[in-house]
Amino acid sequence: MDGPAAKKPRMGVNGTVGPEDSRHTKAAVLFRAAGYAEAGTEAVREFSEIHRQSEKCRWLENGFLQQFVKVGEQACRVCIYFPTQELQPHISIAGEDSLITHGAVDLWTWSGDSASAAPVHQRLLKGSRIVVPPGSVHCLRADARQGLVFHGLVEEDTFQKRSTDFQAAAEHRMPSRFAGRTVLVTGANRGLGLGLAKAFTALGARVVACCRAPAKAEELLGLSPKPILIELDVASDTSVAALPEKLRDSGVCSLDYVINNAGIASPNHPYDPILQADPEVMKSVFNVNVIGTIMVTKACLPLLEMAESKCVVNLSSQLASIEHCYGGLQGHFGGICSYRISRAASNMAMRCFGGELREQGYVFIAMSPGHVDTDMGSSGGRKAPLTVEQSVAGMLSVIAHSSLEDNGKFLQYDGIELPW
Ligand SMILES: NC(=O)c1ccc[n+]([C@@H]2O[C@H](COP(=O)([O-])OP(=O)(O)OC[C@H]3O[C@@H](n4cnc5c(N)ncnc54)[C@H](OP(=O)(O)O)[C@@H]3O)[C@@H](O)[C@H]2O)c1
């Protein structure tokens, strides 16, 4: 490319993705789903990878894939984005005009140079056109479940002459993945539940904060915008049975995320040897951590069904790992029995949900928040290494990037997969 514009960071091919690369297999599935190759016929050629070098374009997280194909008589650029993949704010000098052939996209466009004004948001589905006026800053995020495939409606010759400039002002920020989503959190009045409610609220989600005594939940009542507060005791059959009606009465018609956070440990946590197991303590822990989590999830399924994300996160613990329970990471041989047994059982419940609903676009995750400085985390005089904010930031990042591939996984707040 000639001229001064050539010095700016711009569209660039950063490599090729061929059949030996695992991304090629996934991209080929999307490419075929979009109708560019007949299923079971010729192999899909290698893709070019665009914008991976972060030193060139600091707002770009990852590269999308492209390939030129003939659509009718015209050679067109086909772009493939994996689920949740983003293209950060940038300026396309020539504008964009493309046709979505698979999946869906959230597109944000800023008018003029005004980074302070809120961008215009469009949710575009298969068959829609992605139209961006020349010179406007825009960004996009592919559908969390299906990804996104589209082809440009400009000819290859014209495309090769155009220019994309990534020098959008730093104030043009990628909107949060949780903005506009509805998130239900149980046990939202203190500890990690409160931290989750605060963080989701700050990111623009509509939070349904459930707790046993909403009138006393001062920190929740002080949040802005105020969450929807619902009284819920997860261990009470009548309280859980009333949840759907309370959600309806509060105007909640769909739930993108359900975070089963409410949980308890034995009163002597973490000292709880099985040789001294108390049946009443074990039943009460099991009732909240296992049966409560299952029944709240069941009650929420009809509203999850109405949303795109359909994601259920059960707070678990690395103490549930049977593989790690002899010494090693946990540093114990036995002990903490009521809690460990309940968390291993709630992990299996999560696997059962994920298994039975695997064809319906749900994602069920068992999430260990790490050892966190809360009432539970510091019980028994322990000093927890993580703050609520650190743990919550990690969990939100894992949840935001979750896809169907994560259904049925046991993940830690930093994204590491834990052994059962
Ligand atoms: N902190 C850690 O290091 C750690 C590590 C691994 C896993 N976890 C898990 O993370 C989750 C949150 O833990 P945390 O550390 O924030 O604990 P926490 O500070 O003890 O808070 C527990 C929360 O659960 C609520 N809750 C308890 N029983 C309930 C019931 N029957 N119905 C509704 N809400 C109920 C509590 O409400 P009330 O105020 O009404 O009691 C409180 O809001 C738990 O599931 C826990 O097992 C924590």
173 domain-assigned: no
Pocket of ligand 1 (CB under 6 A): 186-187, 189-193, 211-212, 232-235, 261-264, 288, 292, 315, 317, 368-369, 371-372, 374-377, 384
Tell me the torsion sign for CA atoms 302, 305, 308, 310.
positive
Which range among 259-273, 315-329, 365-379 shows the weakest confidence by mean pLDDT? 315-329
Partners of 77 in the beta sheet? 68
For residue 42, pLDDT over 80 is answered with no
Distance of CA 274 from the midpoint of ligand 1 (Å): 22
Same domain, 216 and 137: no
Distance of CA 180 from the midpoint of ligand 1 (Å): 26
* Residue 133: CATH number of its domain: 2.60.120.10
Closest CA relative to residue 146, chosen from 374, 386, 6, 310: 310
* Residue 374: CATH number of its domain: 3.40.50.720
Q: Give the Cβ contact number of residue 239 at 10 Å.
A: 19
For ligand 1, atom 11, the nearest C-alpha belongs to 261
| Ligand 1 atom nearest to CA at 316 | 7
Whether residue 64 contacts residue 81, with contact meaning beta carbons closer than 8 Å, is answered with yes
For ligand 1, atom 45, the nearest C-alpha belongs to 263
Confidence tier at 389 by pLDDT (50, 70, 90): very high
For ligand 1, atom 29, the nearest C-alpha belongs to 262
Same domain, 199 and 306: yes
Same domain, 150 and 199: no
374 domain-assigned: yes
Same domain, 232 and 137: no
Confidence tier at 168 by pLDDT (50, 70, 90): low
For ligand 1, atom 40, the nearest C-alpha belongs to 212
348 domain-assigned: yes
Q: First and final CA of the chain: distance in angstroms? A: 54
Total tally of structural domains belonging to the chain: 2
DSSP class of residue 392 equals: H
For ligand 1, atom 42, the nearest C-alpha belongs to 187
Same domain, 318 and 248: yes
Q: Six-digit token pair at 396?
A: 């939100």
Same domain, 208 and 153: no
Whether residue 231 contacts residue 213, with contact meaning beta carbons closer than 8 Å, is answered with yes
383 domain-assigned: yes
Distance of CA 265 from the midpoint of ligand 1 (Å): 8
Entry pTM: 0.86
366 domain-assigned: yes
Same domain, 238 and 352: yes
Its domain, for residue 79, covers 4-165
96 domain-assigned: yes
For residue 38, pLDDT over 70 is answered with no
pLDDT digits (tens, 9 = 90+) for 79-89: 999 988 888 88
| Ligand 1 atom nearest to CA at 339 | 47
Same domain, 50 and 152: yes
Among 100, 134, 165, the domain boundary falls at: 165
Same domain, 15 and 101: yes
Probe target for ligand 1 pocket from 196, 219, 232, 261, with the most ligand atoms within 8 Å of CB: 261
Same domain, 386 and 244: yes
350 domain-assigned: yes
Closest CA relative to residue 65, chosen from 26, 93, 104, 33: 26
Same domain, 156 and 272: no
Same domain, 402 and 338: yes
For ligand 1, atom 43, the nearest C-alpha belongs to 187
